[in-house]
Structure 1
């Protein structure tokens, strides 16, 4: 029996990708004006960004214990081995909830074979981990092979991103109110990265034109096997800049596969419209 790969909607993969790679995804929640939506199912990222531009402030909620319980139980009852690769535990409580439910299910179904893994990744960085694990699983790889490769990609995944307006990060407590105000006046664009699952400011860059160039330089410093690996770029409703960055990468490194998609509603609610994020491996592609 093949291994079932599970993830949540913070992977920012679209429904078509989930179907193509036989991935089961559990939606996080987006809350707007006291109405709750399933991320990527009941509401699109585009709708969320449009409403943010109109002044609305979305909130998000993790996958519920009940959803995990029902999903894990259904697979355990069938004797289906599965691995749930989770959104970074530093950005959401979803992983901790899944671990709690894991204990319950394993006590009830002693022969169930599954693991809950903290990827320490987000957006399409997380999505790339899922794609690689799912490809392997679909090809008939063993449980241990899927687990090992998924963990390898999670460990070596780089996240480099910038936001268009510091105000959204300020609302989430990522930067101070003063920094957001001054940054807006000076047109300062922050460059951030992920370190052990946390969002960490890397440097400040004046002017949006310089940001993409600097993202490429950071990738050059950190990346490995840049021509052959699959990369990803996610964007907060700014496809033009995402495609511009992709073209710069292709011209510089001859990279064959760059997946572009929206920063989904869960992460976009905190990063805001105009976010551009780049994901790549810092070690050899496997």
Structure 2
């Protein structure tokens, strides 16, 4: 019996890849004016970004326990062998909720085979982990082989990103009101990364043009052209396809990268990062499957 890969909407994989590799996706809850929506099902990211540009505020909530209970029960009754790769525990409580529900389900279905892994990642960086697992599952690889690859990706995936308006990070609790005020006043663009699943500021850059150079300089310090060769590099954006394509062009020129996954940041993360966000994802070193 093959391995089923389950994840959630914060992985921001394009729909065609989700369908091609039969990835099961649970939607994160997006909230506006006390009304709940399901990320990428009952609300699209474009709507969220347009509303945020007009001053509307969105919040998010983790996947409810009842959703996990329903899906895990369905898998257990079918005798499926499942790996759930979760949105970073440093950014959401979804991972912990899934562990709690798994314990409940195992009491009723003790033979149910379910592994849960904290991706410690977000958006397309998270998606690259999920995609690799799904590719291996489609190839008929064993659960042990797939988990080994996932663990390597979790430890080696890099996130480098910037936001267009630091105010959105303030609303999401990532910077102080003073930092947000002066950042906006001075046209400062923060460059951040993800460390052990949590957002960590790296540099503050004045002006958009310098942001691209800074992001590529950090990329160069953390990997090499040799390691990037034949790798899939991820780029995600907050309704900013022009910026994403510019990054693709610069990365191709500098490192010779040929394969990219480019996608819009979904509502579950975009509600906090805001329109204009740009992010790059890559492995420090390629996974050697041996």
TM-score, with structure 2 as normaliser: 0.97
Q: Structure 1 residues 158-167 or 26-35, which shifts more?
A: 26-35
Matched, 1:33 2:48: no
1:163 shift after superposition: 0.3
Aligned counterparts, 1:1-286, within 5 A = 1-224=1-224, 225-286=227-288
CA distance in 2, matches of 1:115, 1:271: 30
Report the Cα offset of residue 86 of structure 1. 0.2
Rounded Cα–Cα distance in structure 1 between residues aligned with 2:251 and 2:172: 31
Deviations 1:146-177 (Å, cap 9, x if unpaired)? 11111211111101000000101011221111
Which whole-Å CA distance do the structure 2 matches of 1:2 and 1:248 have between them? Answer: 40
CA offsets per residue over residues 52-91 of structure 1, 9 Å max, x none? 1111100101111011011111111111101000000010
Alignment root-mean-square deviation, CA? 0.9
Counterpart Cα distance in 1 of 2:14 and 2:38:
13
Give the deviation of 1:178 after TM superposition.
1.1
CA deviation string 1:176-212 (max 9, x = no partner): 1111111111111100000100000001011110111
Q: Which runs of 5+ in 1 are unaligned?
A: none
Report runs of 4+ in structure 1 exceeding 3 Å deviation. none
Q: Is the 8 A contact 1:194 1:200 kept in 2?
A: yes
1:218-245, Cα deviation, whole Å (9 max, x unpaired) = 1111124112211100000000010000
Q: Is the CA contact 1:229–1:285 (under 8 Å) kept in the aligned structure 2?
A: no
Give the secondary-structure state (helix, strand or coil) at the position aligned to 2:228: coil
| Distance (Å, rounded) in 1 between the aligned partners of 2:138 and 2:41 | 24
- In 1, the alpha carbon distance for the partners of 2:147 and 2:103 equals 19
Equivalent pairs, count: 286
Alpha-carbon distance in structure 1 between the residues aligned to 2:149 and 2:107? 27
- Would you say the 8 A contact 2:228–2:285 is kept in 1? no
Mapped contact 1:8–1:25 kept (Cα < 8 A): yes
